Copies of this chain bind each other. A is one copy, B any other.
Amino acid sequence: MTRPQTTRRKRANGVESRQRILDAAVEIAGERGYEGTSIAAVSAKCGLPASSIYWHFKDKDDLIAAVIERSFETWLTALVLPGEETGTPLERATAMAANVAKALVDAPDFLRLGLMLALERRPVEPRGRTVFLQVREISRRRIGEVIRTLAPDLDEDAAHTLADYAVAGADGLFIHREIAGDAFDLVAMFALHARLVYEAALRMTARSGG
């Protein structure tokens, strides 16, 4: 169990093979969904035999979960959050939304696959679906915090509702871009979305507070 810290990882393939398998799997799963992702197809696409896939991953469910996890990390890496001294609160909110949209354009696999899994309701839930829903829930809470920061006088229910509305809108806009293609400017639409949510928060505050 004492693993040697000297740089040994060169004898066959190892880490690189795992990446190749995940690369192939994310492509096929994004095309055909959970059930449509066959081990044989992944094997053919990455050039490694099925036994290698099963050496790296326990079973198909484990593979899909790993795909979700890695594509989420890829998306997180692509996501650059702006500094805090940018301008008005509205400008900061729209800039943040625009950066999320940019990351989604650069790394769409996470949300595409996650939404596919989220819409399915099979008797035994795939682990990848659970992972996605957890990440989604965390995002929802974070958006809720941002909303409460930007509109501190908003009551709890309204902030919760607006956070739900914000994530739902993000999902919907992403899907619309997946359908409509590059012609749909996701970054601009996310900025618009952020503005509408922000203005709604202001109006709701004024209504309940005054």
Q: Are A184 and B171 in contact (CB-based, < 8 A)? A: no
B-binding segment of A4-12, A57-65, A192-200: A192-200
State the CA gap A180–B171 with chains docked (Å): 14
Contact partner of A119 among B119, B161, B167, CB < 8 A?
B119
Q: Point out the residues of chain B lying under 8 angstroms from A178, CB to CB.
A: 118-119
State the CA gap A133–B175 with chains docked (Å): 12
Copies in the complex: 2
Contact partner of A120 among B31, B164, B184, B193, CB < 8 A?
B31
CB 8 Å contact bits of A16-44 with B (1 = contact, 0 = none): 00000000000000111111100000000
Q: Point out the residues of chain B lying under 8 angstroms from A36, CB to CB.
A: 33-36, 120, 122
Q: Are B175 and A192 in contact (CB-based, < 8 A)? A: no
**Closest Cβ neighbor of A120 among chain B residues:** B33
Q: How would you classify the secondary structure of chain A's contact residues: helix, strand, loop or mixed?
A: helix
| Cβ of A90 to closest chain B Cβ, rounded Å | 13
Q: Are A192 and B165 in contact (CB-based, < 8 A)? A: yes
Contact partner of A35 among B33, B170, B172, B175, CB < 8 A?
B33
Q: Point out the residues of chain B lying under 8 angstroms from A120, CB to CB.
A: 31-33, 36, 116
Q: Are A175 and B118 in contact (CB-based, < 8 A)? A: yes
State the CA gap A199–B201 with chains docked (Å): 13
User: With an 8 A cutoff between CB atoms, is A168 at the interface?
Assistant: yes
| Cβ of A70 to closest chain B Cβ, rounded Å | 19
State the CA gap A136–B179 with chains docked (Å): 10
Q: Point out the residues of chain B lying under 8 angstroms from A34, CB to CB.
A: 33, 36
A-B contact pairs, 12 of them (CB 8 A): A31-B121, A31-B123, A35-B36, A116-B116, A119-B178, A161-B189, A164-B180, A168-B169, A168-B189, A171-B172, A172-B172, A196-B200
Which residues from chain A sit less than 8 Å from chain B, CB to CB? 30-36, 112, 115-116, 118-123, 133, 136, 161, 164-165, 167-173, 175-176, 178-180, 184, 189, 192-193, 196-197, 199-200, 203
